[in-house]
C-alpha cells in the first residue's frame, strides 16, 4: 500500500513540472502584469518594482530562479497579499483546508460506505434506487449551488448554524462547509462501494459457499465487510455488468494490478 | 443489522454536534464585524490603492486632515492651518495630544519622513502622484537627476509646526491630505522593520484603532487604540474587516446578523432585498463616473460625429434602472454631481430629448461620416468581465443596433483590460470608470489632458484648446473663475466625446439598524470611530 502511494506520488512529479512550466510561461504571454492598476504607475516606480521582484531579468533566468526556489520550498512573495510570502499564506491557510478537507473525506467515506452497502444488498429495490438517485444528485449539483442553499436553509431560515466565517474552527462553523464538500464525494464512494460489492456477491467462491448452505445472508454480509470493502474503496473495479460506471480515475494497468492483488486474497 | 448500528452512530454524532452548537463564545467587548469587498493587498498606507484598503486606513491612521463620518473635510492631526497670500505655502499646527499607538508623540518630522518615503521611487507607492502639487516631489518620484528628497517642499519647523510649499495654488490641496499616502509614518518602526513594519507585532499607527491580526481571506482585525487623542469617544472596541468578494454571500451573512454592514449589494437582488430589509438597503451617489472611451488612434473613432452618434443613442435611464436594477445612476456629465469647487453641472446637450428623436440625429451623423445601410459601422466593444458589464454590453449593443451599428464583444479580466487600454492596445470602444481621489473637477478632467500620465488618457485624444484651459485652471487662484474655466473644458469634452459618461457610481450598502453612525456619503468615508452598536 505504501509503495503504491509512493509510486502514485512520484508519477505526479513530471506532471507537476509540466504544469509549473506551462503556467509560468503562459502567464507571461498574457498582457498585463502584477503591478497594473487602472491608474498607471510612474516609469521609475515600475522599474523599481520590477527590479525588486526580479521581473527585469531575462525570462529564462526568471524561470530558473523560480524553479530553483521552488525546489527548496521557497515560493517567494505573494502578489495577492503583498505583506506575506506564499509560505506564510500556506502556513495559515493549509491547516484550515486540511481540517475541512479531511473531515469532509471522513464523512464522505462513512456515509458513502453505508449507503453503498445498503444499495448493494438491496439491489434493484427501492432502497437501492433512492441511494442512486441521491448519488446522482450529489455528483451533478455543483457545490456553488449546494452551498448557498444550505446557507439559506440552515443559516437564515432555521438559523441553526452560521452562514459563513471560520471563527477559529468552531464546530458550528465547520458543519456546513464539511457537508458541502462531502456531498459529491459521498455519492462517488457510495457508487463505488455498491458496484464492487455487487460484483463480489456474484463471485464464484461466495456463490459456492452459499449453494452449499455454508453461508446465510447475514454471514455473507459479515464476510463482505471484512474482505470486500477495502479493495473496493481505492479500486472501484466493479465496472462490469452492473452499470455502476466507476471507471473514472483508474488507469487500466492499475486496475489490472489491483485485481491481481485482490485475487491472492480470495478464499 | 449493520444499518441499525450505523444509524445509531450517526445519531450519536448528531447529538454531539448539536450540543456543541449550544456553546457560544461570550462577548464582553463591542465588536463590529464589517463586510468588505476584498482583502487589503497590503496594510502599508503608502502602497495601498483599493477602496477596501482605504476603509482600513481610515481606522488605523489619522492624517493632517481627515474625512469625518459624513465625508466632510475636518482637522485631523493638524488642529489649525494658515496659507500664504499666493496660496502656495501652508503652515500646519499639530495637536499637542496626537499620539502613536506605542505612546510616542506624533511629530511634524513624522510627516516629513513619510512624504520622503512616498516620493522615493524604490518604495513603489501607488498614490504618490496625487502629491505632485507639492514642490519638488514629482522630480524625486520620477528619479530626475539631481532631485533630492531634502528638496521636497515639506519642512518641520518644530515638532508641532509643519510647512508645505506647493508649485501652484491648489484649491483641493487640503483634501489631498486626507489620503493615506499623505499621512504620517512612525519612523523608528519603519526604519527598524523595513517592509515588515506592517505586521501586527511591529505596526505602530496613530488612528483610533491599531492592528491586532491580519489573515488574508479571513479578516483584518483592529482593536481600539488607547493612545488615540479622542479614544474616550470611540465606542467600538474591535472592528473586524471581513473580505466577502461574493456580494450575494455577503448579503446572506448580513441577513444572518454575522456582519453589520456591507459595501456592495448584488444588483440582481436589490429589489428583493429592499422588500425584505426596507431601509437597511442604501443606494447613494458616489463621486465616480462609469464611461465609454473611444480610441482616437483608430478611424472612424477619431471622427467626433461617430463618437457623438454612439453616445447619443445610449438610453442611460434604461441601463441604470433595468440593467443595473437602480444600483447605478444615469450619467450625463463626466464630472459627477456633488463635486466641490465647481459651478452648475454641465450635461450632455441631448439629455432633454427623447431617445427616439436622438436616434434620428445619430443616424444623420453616421451618414455624414459615411456609414449607412450599405456600409454599417462595425464596433468592437471591450470590457472587463463581470455579470453587470456583460449585461450592459448586451443593452448597449441593442441600442446601437437601432441606428444600424453592428457590435461585437471582447471581454477579459480586469487587469488585462486596463493594461490593454493603458498600453495603447488597438480597441474601438471600451468601458472604464473613474472614482474621485479628491473632490474636485480637476480629478476627472485631468484624465484627458494630452500631457496626462502616459497611459491614463485611454482615448488617446488630444485637444489644444482643452489642454490650454486645464493649464489656465491650474494657475487660477480664484475658485469661481477656476470653476468657470474647468466648466469650459468639460463642455469641450462632452461635445467632442472622446469619453462619454453612461452611469454614475453609487455606494451600495446594507446597514444594520443596530449600527449607528454609518452614514453613506459621496466620499464613502465611514470611519469606525464615529459609529456605535446598539444593544
Answer yes or no: is pLDDT of B44 > 80.
yes
- Reported as a single tens digit per residue, the pLDDT across B335-378 is 999 898 999 999 999 999 999 999 999 999 999 999 988 899 99
Q: What is the predicted pLDDT for the residue at A214?
A: 65
Confidence grade of residue B117 (pLDDT, cut at 50, 70, 90): very high
In a domain, B312, yes or no: yes
**One domain, residues B500 and B517:** no
**One domain, residues B435 and B469:** yes
Is the CB of residue A77 less than 8 Å away from at least one CB of chain B? Answer: no
Q: What is the mean pLDDT of residues A171-187?
A: 93
- The CA–CA distances, whole Å, from A153 to A150, A159, B90 equal 5, 8, 59
- Reported as a single tens digit per residue, the pLDDT across A10-46 is 888 899 899 989 988 888 887 667 777 666 777 778 8
**One domain, residues B526 and B452:** no
Q: Which of A31, A37, A111 sits opposite B420 (nearest CB)?
A: A31
Q: Which of A18-27, A34-43, B151-160, B172-181 has the lowest mean pLDDT?
A: A34-43
In a domain, B14, yes or no: no
Q: What is the predicted pLDDT for the residue at B417?
A: 87
Is the CB of residue A43 less than 8 Å away from at least one CB of chain B? Answer: yes
Q: What is the mean pLDDT of residues A52-62?
A: 86
- Reported as a single tens digit per residue, the pLDDT across B262-313 is 998 988 889 899 999 999 999 999 999 999 999 999 999 999 999 999 999 9
**One domain, residues B339 and B424:** yes
In a domain, B180, yes or no: yes
Which residues of B are less than 8 Å from A35 in CB distance? 124
Most confidently predicted of A45-54, B91-100, B141-150: B91-100
Is the CB of residue A229 less than 8 Å away from at least one CB of chain B? Answer: no
- List the single best residue of B21, B141, B448 to mutate versus A (max A Cβ within 10 A): B21
Distance from CA of B86 to the nearest CA of A (A): 30
Q: Which of B5-9, B170-174, B309-313, B405-409 has the lowest mean pLDDT?
A: B5-9
Which residues of B are less than 8 Å from A118 in CB distance? 3
Contact criterion met (CB below 8 Å) for A232 and A178: no
Which residues of A are less than 8 Å from B217 in CB distance? 93
Q: What is the mean pLDDT of residues B72-88?
A: 94
Contact criterion met (CB below 8 Å) for B164 and B134: yes
Q: Which of B244, B419, B454 sits opposite A33 (nearest CB)?
A: B419
Q: What is the predicted pLDDT for the residue at B28?
A: 65
- Reported as a single tens digit per residue, the pLDDT across A251-264 is 444 444 444 444 43
In a domain, B358, yes or no: yes
> If you average pLDDT over every residue of chain A, what do you get?
79
Q: Exposed, middle or buried: residue B425 (CB in 10 Å: 0-12, 13-18, 19+)?
A: middle
Please identify among residues 118-177 of chain A the ones whose CB lies closer than 8 Å to any CB of chain B.
118, 148, 151-152, 155-156, 159-167, 170-172, 175
- Grid coordinates of A168: 477559529
**One domain, residues B352 and B481:** yes
Q: Which residues, other chains included, contact B178 with Cβ-Cβ below 8 Å and sequence gap of 6+?
A: B63, B65, B66, B67, B73, B76, B438, B525
**One domain, residues B197 and B311:** no
In a domain, B16, yes or no: no
- Reported as a single tens digit per residue, the pLDDT across B301-346 is 999 999 999 999 999 999 999 999 988 999 999 999 989 899 999 9
Q: What is the predicted pLDDT for the residue at A212?
A: 74
DSSP string, B106-133: P-HHHHHHHHHHHHSGGG--SSGGGGTT
Q: What is the predicted pLDDT for the residue at A37?
A: 66
**One domain, residues B338 and B409:** yes
Answer yes or no: is pLDDT of A217 > 60.
no
**One domain, residues B517 and B497:** no
Percent of chain B with pLDDT over 70: 94
Query: Does the complex come out with an ipTM higher than 0.85?
Result: no
Q: What is the predicted pLDDT for the residue at A234?
A: 43
Element holding B240 (H helix, E strand): strand B238-243
Q: Which of A177-186, A208-217, B426-435 has the lowest mean pLDDT?
A: A208-217
Q: Which residues, other chains included, contact B480 with Cβ-Cβ below 8 Å and sequence gap of 6+?
A: B343
CATH of the domain at B528: 3.90.76.10
Confidence grade of residue A57 (pLDDT, cut at 50, 70, 90): confident
In a domain, B6, yes or no: no
Q: Which structural domain range is residue B345 located in?
A: 284-508
In a domain, B9, yes or no: no
Residue whose C-alpha cell reads 489620503 in the numeric block: B179
**One domain, residues B163 and B288:** no
Q: Which residue has the higher pLDDT, A33 or B43?
A: B43
Q: What is the predicted pLDDT for the residue at B13?
A: 46
**One domain, residues B40 and B128:** yes
Q: What is the predicted pLDDT for the residue at A215?
A: 56
Number of domains making up chain B: 2
Confidence grade of residue A156 (pLDDT, cut at 50, 70, 90): very high
Contact criterion met (CB below 8 Å) for B34 and B259: yes
**One domain, residues B520 and B463:** no
Confidence grade of residue A8 (pLDDT, cut at 50, 70, 90): confident
CATH of the domain at B359: 3.10.105.10
In a domain, B20, yes or no: no
**One domain, residues B42 and B164:** yes
Answer yes or no: is pLDDT of B430 > 50.
yes
Answer yes or no: is pLDDT of A198 > 60.
yes
Give the separation between CA B83 and CA B133, rounded to whole angstroms.
Answer: 15
- The CA–CA distances, whole Å, from A245 to A137, A239, A240, A242, A248 equal 15, 5, 8, 8, 8
Q: Which of A184-198, A250-264, B31-45 has the lowest mean pLDDT?
A: A250-264
Q: What is the mean pLDDT of residues B231-245?
A: 95
DSSP string, B306-349: HHHHHHHT--HHHIIIIISTTSSEE---SSPTT-SS--SPP--G
Amino acid at each position: 500500500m505504501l509503495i503504491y502511494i509512493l509510486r502514485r506520488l512520484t508519477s505526479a512529479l513530471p506532471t507537476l513540472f509540466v504544469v509549473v512550466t506551462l503556467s509560468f510561461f503562459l502567464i507571461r504571454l498574457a498582457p498585463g502584469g502584477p503591478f497594473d492598476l487602472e491608474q498607471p504607475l510612474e516609469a521609475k516606480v515600475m522599474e523599481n518594482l520590477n527590479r525588486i521582484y526580479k521581473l527585469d531579468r531575462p525570462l529564462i533566468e526568471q524561470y530558473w530562479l523560480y524553479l530553483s526556489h521552488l525546489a527548496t520550498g521557497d515560493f517567494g512573495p505573494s502578489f495577492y497579499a503583498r505583506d506575506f510570502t506564499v509560505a506564510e499564506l500556506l502556513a495559515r491557510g493549509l491547516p484550515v483546508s486540511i481540517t475541512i478537507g479531511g473531515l469532509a473525506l471522513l464523512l464522505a467515506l462513512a456515509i458513502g460506505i453505508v449507503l453503498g452497502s445498503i444499495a448493494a444488498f438491496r439491489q434493484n429495490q427501492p432502497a437501492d434506487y433512492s441511494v442512486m438517485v441521491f448519488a446522482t444528485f450529489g455528483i451533478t449539483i455543483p457545490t456553488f449551488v449546494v452551498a448557498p442553499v444550505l446557507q439559506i436553509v440552515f443559516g437564515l431560515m432555521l438559523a441553526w448554524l452560521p452562514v459563513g466565517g471560520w471563527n477559529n474552527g468552531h464546530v458550528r462553523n465547520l458543519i456546513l462547509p464539511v457537508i458541502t464538500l462531502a456531498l459529491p464525494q459521498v455519492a462517488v464512494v457510495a457508487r463505488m462501494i455498491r458496484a464492487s460489492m455487487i460484483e463480489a456477491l456474484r463471485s464464484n467462491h461466495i456463490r459456492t459457499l452459499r449453494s452449499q448452505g455454508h453461508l446465510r445472508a447475514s454471514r455473507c454480509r459479515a464476510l463482505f465487510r471484512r474482505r470486500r470493502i477495502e479493495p473496493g474503496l481505492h479500486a472501484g473495479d466493479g465496472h462490469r455488468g452492473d452499470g455502476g460506471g466507476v471507471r473514472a480515475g483508474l488507469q487500466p494497468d492499475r486496475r489490472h494490478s489491483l485485481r491481481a492483488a485482490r485475487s491472492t486474497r480470495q478464499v | 443489522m449493520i444499518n441499525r448500528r450505523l444509524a445509531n452512530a450517526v445519531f450519536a454524532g448528531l447529538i454531539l454536534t448539536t450540543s456543541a452548537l449550544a456553546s457560544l463564545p461570550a462577548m464582553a467587548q463591542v465588536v463590529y464585524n464589517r463586510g468588505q469587498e476584498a482583502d487589503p493587498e497590503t496594510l502599508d498606507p503608502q502602497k495601498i490603492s483599493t477602496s477596501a484598503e482605504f476603509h482600513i486606513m481610515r481606522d488605523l491612521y489619522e492624517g493632517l486632515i481627515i474625512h469625518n463620518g459624513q465625508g466632510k473635510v475636518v482637522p485631523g492631526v493638524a488642529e489649525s492651518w494658515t496659507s500664504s497670500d499666493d496660496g502656495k505655502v501652508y503652515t500646519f499646527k499639530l495637536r499637542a495630544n496626537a499620539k502613536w499607538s506605542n505612546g510616542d508623540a506624533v511629530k511634524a518630522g513624522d510627516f516629513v519622513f513619510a512624504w520622503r518615503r512616498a516620493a522615493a521611487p524604490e518604495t513603489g507607492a501607488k498614490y504618490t502622484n496625487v502629491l505632485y502639487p507639492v514642490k519638488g516631489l514629482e522630480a524625486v518620484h520620477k528619479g530626475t537627476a539631481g532631485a533630492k528628497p531634502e528638496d521636497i517642499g515639506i519642512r518641520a519647523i518644530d515638532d508641532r509646526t509643519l510647512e508645505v510649499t506647493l508649485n501652484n495654488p491648489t484649491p483641493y490641496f487640503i483634501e489631498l491630505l486626507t489620503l493615506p499616502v499623505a499621512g504620517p509614518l512612525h519612523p523608528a518602526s519603519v526604519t527598524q522593520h523595513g517592509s515588515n513594519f506592517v505586521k501586527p507585532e511591529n505596526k505602530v499607527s496613530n488612528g483610533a484603532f491599531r492592528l491586532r491580526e491580519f489573515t488574508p481571506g479571513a479578516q483584518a482585525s483592529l482593536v481600539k487604540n488607547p493612545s488615540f487623542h479622542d479614544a474616550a469617544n470611540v465606542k467600538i472596541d474591535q472592528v473586524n474587516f471581513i473580505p466577502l468578494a461574493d456580494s450575494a454571500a455577503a448579503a446572506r451573512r448580513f441577513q444572518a446578523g454575522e456582519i453589520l454592514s456591507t459595501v456592495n449589494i448584488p444588483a440582481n437582488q436589490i429589489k428583493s432585498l429592499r422588500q425584505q430589509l426596507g431601509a437597511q438597503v442604501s443606494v447613494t451617489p458616489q463621486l465616480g463616473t462609469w464611461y465609454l472611451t473611444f480610441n482616437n488612434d483608430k478611424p472612424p473613432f477619431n471622427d467626433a460625429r461617430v463618437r457623438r452618434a454612439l453616445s447619443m443613442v445610449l438610453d442611460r435611464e434604461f441601463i441604470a434602472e433595468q440593467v443595473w436594477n437602480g444600483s447605478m445612476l444615469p450619467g450625463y456629465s463626466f464630472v459627477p454631481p456633488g463635486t466641490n469647487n465647481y459651478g452648475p453641472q454641465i450635461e450632455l446637450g441631448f439629455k432633454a430629448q427623447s431617445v427616439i428623436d436622438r436616434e434620428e440625429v445619430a443616424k444623420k451623423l453616421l451618414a455624414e461620416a459615411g456609414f449607412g445601410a450599405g456600409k454599417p459601422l462595425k464596433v468592437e466593444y471591450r470590457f472587463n468581465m463581470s455579470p453587470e458589464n456583460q449585461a450592459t454590453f448586451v443593452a448597449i449593443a441593442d441600442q446601437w443596433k437601432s441606428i444600424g451599428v453592428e457590435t461585437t464583444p471582447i471581454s477579459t479580466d480586469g487587469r488585462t483590460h486596463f493594461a490593454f487600454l493603458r498600453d495603447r492596445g488597438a480597441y474601438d470602444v471600451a468601458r472604464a470608470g473613474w472614482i474621485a481621489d479628491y473632490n474636485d473637477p480637476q480629478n476627472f478632467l485631468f484624465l484627458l489632458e494630452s500631457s496626462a500620465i502616459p497611459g491614463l488618457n485611454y482615448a488617446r485624444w488630444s485637444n489644444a484648446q482643452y489642454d490650454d484651459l486645464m493649464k489656465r485652471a491650474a494657475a487660477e487662484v480664484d475658485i469661481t473663475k477656476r470653476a468657470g474655466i474647468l466648466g469650459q473644458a468639460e463642455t469641450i469634452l462632452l461635445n467632442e466625446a472622446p469619453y462619454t459618461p453612461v452611469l454614475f457610481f453609487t455606494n451600495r450598502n446594507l446597514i444594520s439598524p443596530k449600527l449607528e453612525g454609518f452614514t453613506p456619503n459621496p466620499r464613502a468615508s465611514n470611519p469606525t470611530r464615529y459609529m456605535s452598536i446598539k444593544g
